[in-house]
Structure 1
Amino acid sequence: MTNDTPHCGSVPRRIGVVEDHAVAVAGLRQILADEPDLMIVAAATTVSELLAITTDLDLAMLDLRLPDGSSPIANVEQLRRAGIETLVFTSGDEPFMVRAAARAGVLGVVRKSERGEVVASAIRDAAMGRLVATMDWAAAIDADEDFAQVNLSPRQRDVLGLYASGEPAARVAKLSGLTEDTVNAYLGRIRQKYAEAGRPARTKTELYKRALEDGWLPIPRRRH
């Protein structure tokens, strides 16, 4: 697992990749081909698939948008429970997902468009447990003050998830075993919490966005 002590001799750091584009994985393999201290030992399209292959990793490289719709926060937490720290590897075109990963405590964020030597250096630092202070990572941290996490109870998260995904309040009540009045009361409290955090959620569309941002809903799948 990740630590601050360099590997002895020629034993390379073990890297896992969570990425659903074979071209991106091939690109990473090419970048690390001339780096004897770094080796990709496993690649998968989801975190669960990677951990089923191996947990003996010094670092996981994580794409933010995956085919199972999982949230960056959930993925980082799942990897950390397995004792593995994370470096985000992203196109960087969805800032809210980068912010979510930064809040989850990743070691850094590196863009797929970076030069190979920059990517290799970032992987090496992260595999040794060091923060990778790129501009994307710093910007995500700085923006966090304007993107305060809203703490919802498990029941509030359930109600928000159902309602924001398109269910009417009456249907949410039936699915959750609550009365419709109780569901509406929950929604009012949820909206109030987001308003107090400076993240308005007045409409159903805004509630949907907030649920995505905080990982209460699965990330929409890519359209190919």
Structure 2
Amino acid sequence: MSESVPSPPVRLLLCDDHAVVRAGLRALLSSADGIEVVGEAGTGEEALAMAARLHPDVVLMDLQLGEGMDGVTATRRLTSGAAGAPGSPVPRVLVLTMFDTDADISRAIEAGATGYLLKAERPDELFAAIRDAASGRTTLSAPVADRLLAQLRSPRPALSEREHEILGQLARGLGNREIARALFISEATVKTHLGRVYGKLGVETRAGAVAVAKERRLLP
């Protein structure tokens, strides 16, 4: 009777802008069966370059990467195959982050992430999620799954025509006073509309509103 051939280990690329976090993850993952860390990247740009060279099965991706390309953009580039040569394997991307806002989750999933984990997860949950990601199966932290279900059950209302105008001016980098002048409305009205836009997009900042608007193609 022939012996079964063991499966090759999951080739994993780490991407986190904190060297201490990367070192901790590498040390942790060294204890996991069937997982091999093949590289570490500190920026989104490094992750793309290393993925093209190392051909990992899974990229463990943080969302906030300091200056330069953020984790969502890097995820989109990786999952679209833009990081490698035509015909080269496309890695799965498993997000590992501290952030669980609706906007972060939506942007990551829309960018093609296979799974979304929070850094508070237990090590065995992380190991299982990496193996699942390599097989194409989705893993979500419980709070993330709850948020996604809530979004599906109560989809956010669409933006009004005026809110679209406000958002467009916001994307141009205008402040409240400049937006008010451009649209011939008061600053107080601008603030009111901005509050509604933030609520509908699930964000808390101007930059977040513009980022989500670009992701959802809400800007002209």
**C-alpha displacement at 1:27, in angstroms?**
1.9
Give me the identity figure in percent: 27
Instruction: Confirm or deny: 8 A CA contact 2:43 2:68 kept in the other structure.
Output: no
Instruction: Confirm or deny: 8 A CA contact 1:109 1:134 kept in the other structure.
Output: yes
Cα 1:206/1:41, change in 2 over 3 Å: closer
Instruction: Read off the aligned partner of 2:200 and give its amino acid letter.
Output: R
Does residue 1:162 correspond to 2:163, yes or no? no
Instruction: Read off the aligned partner of 2:141 and give its amino acid letter.
Output: T
Match among 18, 23, 26 for residue 29 of structure 1? 26
Instruction: Read off the aligned partner of 2:104 and give its amino acid letter.
Output: M
Does residue 1:64 correspond to 2:71, yes or no? no
Q: Deviations over 1:166-198 (max 9, x none)?
A: 48648xxxxxxxxx569xxxxx9xx69x76x97
Match among 90, 102, 105 for residue 97 of structure 2? 90
Instruction: Confirm or deny: 8 A CA contact 1:161 1:216 kept in the other structure.
Output: no
Instruction: Confirm or deny: 8 A CA contact 1:108 1:137 kept in the other structure.
Output: no
Cα 1:123/1:85, change in 2 over 3 Å: same
Cα 1:86/1:35, change in 2 over 3 Å: same
Partner residue of 1:214?
A: 212
CA distance in 2, matches of 1:94, 1:133: 14
**C-alpha displacement at 1:16, in angstroms?**
1.2
* Counterpart mapping for 1:70-219 below 5 A: 70-82=69-81, 83-92=90-99, 94-145=101-152, 146=154, 148=156, 159-163=169-173, 166=175, 169=178, 199=200, 208=206, 210-212=208-210, 214=212, 216=214
RCO higher in structure (CA 8 A, sep ≥6): 1
Structure 2 residue ranges without an equivalent (≥5)? 82-89, 160-164, 185-189, 216-220
TM-score (norm 2): 0.66
Q: How many residues align?
A: 192
**C-alpha displacement at 1:108, in angstroms?**
1.6
Cα 1:99/1:68, change in 2 over 3 Å: same
TM-score (norm 1): 0.65
Structure 1 residue ranges without an equivalent (≥5)? 1-7, 171-179, 183-187, 218-224
